[in-house]
Amino acid sequence: MVSINYDAAGYPMFPGGSEFNTQFGPDDLNRLQELFDDCLNQCHLPVDSERARILGRALVRLYSQGQHDPDLIRALLVPPFRRHS
């Protein structure tokens, strides 16, 4: 199980630097886009919002660290972002 820490606002924080060194292929990008869109819809976030940008960074960081299970990713990201809707 992945251990998640949360910041003072309750958003998930993942270890790692601010830069991502992972290269994504077309299939990865398609999966990331689908997950991002799904999480946005579940959290009722507008795509151009600051919270959507934070969600996107959290999603890319998790994925770049090797977590590719869409159900687990949703379970980790949706509840904290939904709480702040």
- The number of domains in the chain is 1
Return the pLDDT at 65: 86
Whether 48 has a pLDDT exceeding 70, the answer reads yes
Domain that holds residue 50: 33-85
Work out the number of other CB atoms within 10 angstroms of the CB of residue 46: 9
Does any domain span residue 18?
A: no
Domain for residue 6, yes or no? no
In a domain, 62, yes or no: yes
| Residue 11 placed within a domain | no
The CA distance from 67 to 40, in Å, is 19
Please indicate, yes or no, if residue 28 is contained in any of the structural domains.
no
Q: Is the pTM of this model over 0.85?
A: no
Q: Is 7 a domain residue?
A: no
Output the pLDDT for position 74: 95
